[in-house]
Every structure is written in C-alpha cells, then in structure tokens.
Amino acid sequence: MKALILGSTGYTGMMLMRILSSHPQIDQIIPTSRSVAGQSVIAEDPGLHASIVEKLAGTDGCYVEFGEVDLGSVDVVFSALPHKTAASMIGPIVGTVPVIDLSADFRLVDREVYERVYGTTHPHPELLEKSVYGLSEWNRDEIRTASIIACPGCYPTATLLPLLPFAHLIDYPVIVDALSGISGAGRKEERNLLFNERSENMNAYNPGRVHRHVPEIVQELRRAVSAGSSAGSSAGTPADILFTPHLVPIKQGMLVTATARLTSPMSQEEAEAIVTDAYASSPFVNLTTRSTPQSRDVRNTNRCDLSVRVHGDHIQLFSALDNLYKGASGQAIQNMNIRLGLDERSGLRLSGEF
C-alpha cells in the first residue's frame, strides 16, 4: 500500500514518517513539502533509520512537491498541514482517495463555529457534514467508509476518552485541567517555547472556554449526551466544560483530570466497570494498574491510560497519552488501519518507554 503525506516536516509529519517506516502493510511513502522539496528525507530527520529508503524509492529518498504526485496510485492521504491551509489542499481530492486530516479544518460540523474559532472563511464548507470525527474508539463504523477522517487534537482526545462513557451520567459544566508537553505547541520558533523559558516553569493559558479545542470537545460531548439520553440522563443543561490547559516542562506527553458531579449515586466498582465495558474492544485504551495514569507509561505509544475515582456525588476521571502519538500521528494511523480494513493495531506500539 502507498501512503502520501502532505506537510512532512513538522512534528506531526515527522512522527507519521517514523511510524509508517515500520508499518508492515505500507510499502511506499510519498512525503511532500514545499519548503524542502528535492532534499533528502533522512537529512531532514536523522532519527529515521536508513531502511526507510526502501519505502521512499518512488521519490529517490527525497521530499517532492504535491503537484508531482500521481494520486491514482495512492491508497491513503495524510494531511499534516496547518489549520486553514489543509482544507484548501484537501478539498479537491476528497472522494478520489481516503483522506486523513490532522488539522482542525474538518472537525467542527458547524461552519459558523469553525469560522468564529479559527477566524477564517472555510474554503470547502460542503465537506464539513461529510467528514467523520476520527476518535477511533467511538466512530469505527463511520471511519470504515469515510472519504475524509478528521483526527481530533491531543487535548480533545485526552479529554473525551475518559469523559464519553459518562457523558449522560454527569451534570455540566465539567471542570477539566490538562497538562501538555511543549511539543503540543508544534515545531516552531517562538520565544515562549525556548528551553530557558520553559525549563523549571509551568503555566496555565486560555482558561475557561477560550481555548480553540473547547468547541470540538463540547460538540462530541453533546453528541454523546444526545445518544445516551434514553439511558436516563438527567443533565439539566447542554454538555459544557470549563477547560484549563497548562504548559509543563516536558517534551511530549499529556495528562488530563476531569471533575464532575454525578446525576445519581455510583460506586467505585460501577464506575470502573463503565470504563472497562466502554473500551472492551479497544486495544489502546484501558484502566491503568496505577492509582492514576502517568505520561511516562504511554510515551511513544498509541495508548491512552485511564483511571477513575468516585468521591460521594462527584467523579474524577484521569487520562494520560503521548500528544505526538495517540494525540496525533498514531491515532491517524489507527484510523488508516480501520479505513483500509487492516488490523487496528498494525504498526502501532503498545508498550511504553522508561
């Protein structure tokens, strides 16, 4: 199978390359880039093993311009392009080959919400309702036939996976605190991301309902509440969150704590059973054996470790994942596996690093 990557030189594109380099069903990778077209892939990312050259034979081991690619021979397209750019590039090819987009351009169903949050007119609004939200564990059936899969961001993935099983069993708003490694801000030169600025330093930013991922999280929670209302939801208001992200001095990793009031009594054992049942067929999501999850356990894996604690009429939900892997490129490849009828686990790591 042949995979095309649009925008291969950011953290997301580089991680896609690294995972696909050892994916057993991907025989050829076509990396595109405007800025480094014609240059050696391994020279740009020396972390790649020389064996990847076999999968880059079609481009002589180099990046190429998108316009040079014959889409007729491609099995899947990954877009690791920035928000606002991705939709313009992807729009014309949707329907000719499955597209997996890692930007935010197709995550929000409501055009007005997208344009308010991202401050730009959407170039292909007709595709918004056709896209499938790529939270693999919750939308497998739709992903299997989707022409465009919109992969969630790392914050939404780490927030939704613990919350969705309880979406119709809690009152809103939910209080969410999220901690992210510096790579969550992308591969760019900014003073705030310099080592001297981030080392021995932590801070919250965009608290409440300001962060651009909040509408994405709320959209999916409301969808889950609607689907689960017949199960006895007594939430008096539409699903809503107060979300506070924090930047912490690690390179990669994410930890989320969500706190909510239960609509009816629940024991610790019942809460754990809800999580276990929800993810019984999901190899990458499970209850950790620790009291609460740790980012190191899931580093460079496609796992999301969860735990739950019931405190009287309140519940706390915890999750940890690698923001570059399960929070981005790993989940994109998981979606590719589902879409192309492969083993969902193919090419993806389950065991973490020290």
Q: Which residues are catalytic?
A: 154
Q: CA-CA distances (angstroms) from residue 313 to 205, 221, 224, 267, 309? A: 29, 20, 21, 10, 11
Closest CA to 102 of 256, 326, 312, 328: 328
**C-alpha–C-alpha distance, residues 125 and 108, integer Å:** 10
Closest CA to 338 of 56, 84, 112, 149: 149
The C-alpha angle with vertex 116 and arms to 136 and 35, in degrees rounded to 5, equals 70
Lookup result for tokens 């309880």: 166
Tokens of 28: 């050829």
Closest CA to 336 of 77, 47, 31: 77
The H or E element spanning position 143 is: helix 140-143
Phi-psi region of 281 (alpha: psi -120 to 50; beta: other; left: phi over 0): alpha
DSSP string for 59-118: GTTB-B-GGG--GGG-SEEEE-PPTTTHHHHHGGGBTTB-EEE-SSTTT-S-HHHHHHHH
CB hemisphere CA count around 235 (13 angstroms): 26
